[in-house]
Amino acid sequence: MKTAVETIDVELAQRYLAERDDDRPFSNGHLRYLVERQKRGEWQTNGDSLKFDTDGKLRDGQHRMMMVMQTGIPIEVVVVRDIAPDAFITMDTGKNRNLSDILAIKKYPNHASLAQALIWVYRYVTDYMSPGGSRKSHEQQLGMLGKHSELQESVAFCLNLGQPAGRPGFQGITMATHYLFSRIDTEAANDFIERYVTGLRLEEQTDPVAVLRGQVVSFATARVKPVALQVFRLYALAWNAKREGRQQKQLYKVRPTSPRRPKIDGFPKELFQESQMEMPLYPEDEEVNS
């Protein structure tokens, strides 16, 4: 094999693409992800290489070549040539680093839990709750954590509550909503989440926190289980009811999923990255005293 570091400009990228293996699958979504990262200045030479086989065909790197052609921004990259064609079936079989791995590398405490919570905070403040859509880079996620560093305190607070018997699931949502609620009222957020997690001090069955906890616990044995996005919305409904001093005499409605964030009463609008598109409350949600 032959290895060299090359600067790839538009002309060279176009020539290498003409030499690619036509059977290699192409992903428009992955190309958009790379183009957006390069435009944000996140591209770095990291040792990932362009790979050519012994016939001179490009077998790994076509998306990066398309990225250069679309942005017009040259990149410096390792180029490896004369790889045996049979060797390509052994490549790209390892585990990609996820957000938890990145946070561990960066020495963040509670990195696995922090990653779960950060994903939900990112979705909420950017007003795109669905897990699909454009892929977020690790740099974007770390940037979000930099703007919301207090999320680490929420993660620690929730973990310090321990693992009480009958604890509801959805740990990532619990930690994320504690942080979001704490941006409004730290004391109220602590009280809400502590009672939700532990089940203590829930004497009244019409307490919005008690209704939420009982409903989420019941999901574990439900025949049809809601998805996490639907459960996140229930947290918001319970917070709104508690903040307004309302009793909750019925279960919260589990509505179809929506990419729009639910309304969290009192959340500071200056923390949104875009203007808030609130999910309106349905009539059934408001008629809690009927």
What is the CATH number for 50? 3.90.1530
Whether residue 279 has pLDDT greater than 70: no
Select from 73, 90, 107 the last residue of a domain. Answer: 90
Q: Tell me what the mean pLDDT of segment 25-52 comes to.
A: 84
Select from 64, 90, 116 the last residue of a domain. Answer: 90
Confidence of residue 276 (pLDDT cuts 50, 70, 90): very low
Which domain does 183 fall in, by range? 99-286
What digits encode the pLDDT tens for the residues 133-179?
A: 556 788 888 989 999 999 999 999 999 998 776 778 899 999 999 99
The percent of residues above 70 in pLDDT, for the chain, comes to 87
Same domain assignment for residues 219 and 152: yes
Select from 90, 115, 138 the last residue of a domain. Answer: 90
Q: How many other C-beta atoms can be found within 10 angstroms of the C-beta atom of residue 23? A: 7
Same domain assignment for residues 163 and 73: no
Residue 19 confidence (pLDDT): 82
Same domain assignment for residues 109 and 160: yes
Whether residue 132 has pLDDT greater than 50: yes
pTM of the entire predicted model: 0.70
Same domain assignment for residues 112 and 200: yes
Position 53: which residue type? D
CA triple 175-252-288, angle to 5 deg: 120
Same domain assignment for residues 123 and 240: yes
Same domain assignment for residues 181 and 105: yes
Same domain assignment for residues 254 and 215: yes
Confidence of residue 114 (pLDDT cuts 50, 70, 90): very high
Residue 283 confidence (pLDDT): 35
Same domain assignment for residues 74 and 141: no
Lowest mean pLDDT among 178-182, 197-201, 285-289: 285-289
Strands ordered across the beta sheet of 58-60 = 2-8, 75-83, 49-53, 58-60
Whether residue 32 has pLDDT greater than 50: yes
Same domain assignment for residues 111 and 246: yes
Same domain assignment for residues 191 and 278: yes
Residue 135 confidence (pLDDT): 66
Residue 41 confidence (pLDDT): 87
Lowest mean pLDDT among 58-67, 76-85, 210-219, 281-290: 281-290
Question: Could you give the CA distance from residue 122 to residue 187 in angstroms, rounded to a whole number?
Answer: 23
83 by DSSP, 3-state: which?
Answer: strand
Residue 27 confidence (pLDDT): 77
Residue 91 confidence (pLDDT): 61
Q: Pick the more confident residue, 274 or 99.
A: 99
Confidence of residue 36 (pLDDT cuts 50, 70, 90): confident
Residue 37 confidence (pLDDT): 85
Q: How many domains is the chain partitioned into structurally?
A: 2
User: Mean pLDDT, the chain, as a whole number?
Assistant: 85
CA 164 from chain center: how many Å? Answer: 27
Query: Are 28 and 134 a contacting pair, CB within 8 Å?
Result: no
Same domain assignment for residues 200 and 244: yes
Residue 178 confidence (pLDDT): 98
Same domain assignment for residues 112 and 154: yes
| Cβ within 8 Å of residue 6, ≥6 positions away | 12, 50, 76, 77, 79
Whether residue 287 has pLDDT greater than 60: no
Residue 33 confidence (pLDDT): 81
